[in-house]
């Protein structure tokens, strides 16, 4: 089998007996071979059931619509929210940045090495500083200045660039707040990296907040952007130990490594359809 024959079925529904059997039987009847399966329930009695199945189906490009039609009665019977994702269809993404380059570079390195299944369609920045770096990778760079006085015009220009052209937007230390109307155009498709272990130290200057509090751990949090600042569904987190000898600049230096790793992992999980959103939480089949 080739990658063009592989698909992923993502499911959430009220939990009840028989879901796994029905899904497996339907795929078997269509000639599919399950190669990986993950599932989780919030409560076996009355909870929500989540499932991610990877399978191979010969001539998937020609048979995908037929498979979806065959699955609809199963989905209806179990009241499923579901979608079928094709592994060979690489998701186009846009990266939004400001001046800091560490998160951007991690994504570019992984993309160039073939370790991130994405098409980086563009990089958009509110500063011109990273243009040369980005264009060296052959990726279009767009500078759109953002000020308080022209926020609406800037977001209109950004939307003209990305709307209908990208599947996901990655905020790689993009130090501007997106408006609710912008975020609503990409529900659960804008991934932000916040440089603290949320919910601790949300908002501005989290490393300064952490230093003032005398923490012994600093972290980073990748989450989907929502109207509520730094409060969207969390995709991934990690931490590093620090101590009394570290000042604010030390925390920032140590934190840059955590930010890079956490954001890159979260983006990869999203691209590989491993994240299911449930309310303000996520189920991550990593």
Instruction: Look up tokens 């953002």; give the residue.
Output: 146
> Residue 11: phi, psi to the nearest 5?
-135, 140
| Alpha carbons 229 and 202: distance in angstroms, whole number | 8
Choose, from 5, 56, 167, 230, the residue flagged as catalytic: 230
Give SS3 for 223.
strand
Angle at 255 between CA 211 and CA 202, to 5 degrees: 60
| Alpha carbons 205 and 212: distance in angstroms, whole number | 11
Q: Known catalytic residue: 230?
A: yes
Token pair of 94, please?
A: 């846009």
CB 275, CB 284: distance < 8 Å: yes
Angle at 190 between CA 109 and CA 236, to 5 degrees: 70
Give SS3 for 265.
helix
Please give the positions annotated as active site. 230
């Amino acid at each position: 089998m080739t990658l063009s024959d592989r698909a992923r079925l993502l499911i959430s529904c009220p939990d009840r007996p028989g879901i796994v059997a029905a899904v497996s039987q339907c795929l078997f009847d269509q000639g599919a071979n399950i190669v990986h399966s993950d599932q989780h329930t919030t409560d076996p009695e009355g909870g929500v059931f989540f499932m991610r199945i990877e399978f191979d189906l010969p001539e998937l490009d020609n048979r995908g619509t037929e498979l979806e039609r065959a699955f609809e009665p199963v989905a209806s019977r179990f009241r499923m929210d579901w979608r079928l994702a094709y592994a060979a269809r690489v998701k186009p993404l846009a990266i939004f940045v400001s001046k800091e380059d560490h998160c951007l570079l991690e994504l570019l390195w992984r993309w160039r090495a073939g370790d991130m299944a994405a098409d980086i369609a563009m990089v958009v920045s509110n500063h011109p500083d990273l243009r040369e770096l980005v264009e060296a990778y052959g990726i279009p760079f767009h500078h759109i200045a953002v000020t308080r006085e022209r926020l609406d015009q800037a977001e209109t220009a950004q939307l003209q660039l990305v709307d209908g052209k990208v599947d996901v937007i990655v905020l790689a230390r993009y130090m501007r707040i997106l408006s609710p109307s912008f975020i609503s155009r990409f529900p659960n498709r804008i991934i932000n990296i916040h440089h603290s272990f949320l919910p601790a130290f949300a908002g501005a200057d989290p490393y300064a907040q952490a230093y003032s509090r005398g923490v012994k751990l600093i972290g980073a949090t990748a989450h989907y952007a929502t109207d509520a600042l730094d409060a969207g569904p969390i995709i991934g987190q990690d931490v590093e130990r620090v101590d009394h000898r570290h000042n604010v600049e030390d925390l920032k230096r140590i934190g840059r490594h955590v930010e890079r790793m956490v954001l890159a992992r979260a983006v990869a999980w999203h691209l590989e359809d491993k994240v299911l959103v449930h309310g303000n939480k996520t189920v991550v089949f990593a």
